[in-house]
Amino acid sequence: MVALGSISGLATSVMVLVSAVGPLPFGIAYDLFGNYESIIWYSLVFPVIGILAASLAVKPTLAS
């Protein structure tokens, strides 16, 4: 439970950063393609990577 605050803080920082930067590729894609459909399809890659990473992750062991 000691690292829970560090993990939560890092996750929150990443979420804020991605929320701030996230609209940029969507705007660029809209300017290039005239719609959001293509960037939405490309965005589906990230959840798939996350699911694969979570599925393949090894359970950590308690250090003594």
pLDDT at position 6 is 82
- The reply to whether 41 falls in a domain is yes
pLDDT at position 64 is 66
- The reply to whether 6 falls in a domain is no
Q: How many domains does the chain have?
A: 1
| Mean pLDDT to the nearest integer, 25-52 | 93
- The reply to whether 37 falls in a domain is yes
* 1: confidence class by pLDDT, cuts 50, 70, 90: low
- The reply to whether 38 falls in a domain is yes
- The reply to whether 52 falls in a domain is yes
Residue 63 pLDDT greater than 80, yes or no: no
Listing DSSP states for 3-36 in one string gives THHHHHHHHHHHHHHHHHHTHHHHHHHHHHHSSS
| Mean pLDDT to the nearest integer, 24-28 | 93
Alpha-carbon distance of 25 to 43, in angstroms, equals: 10
- The reply to whether 26 falls in a domain is yes
Domain that holds residue 46: 18-56
pLDDT at position 55 is 95
pLDDT at position 29 is 93
- The reply to whether 43 falls in a domain is yes
- The reply to whether 23 falls in a domain is yes
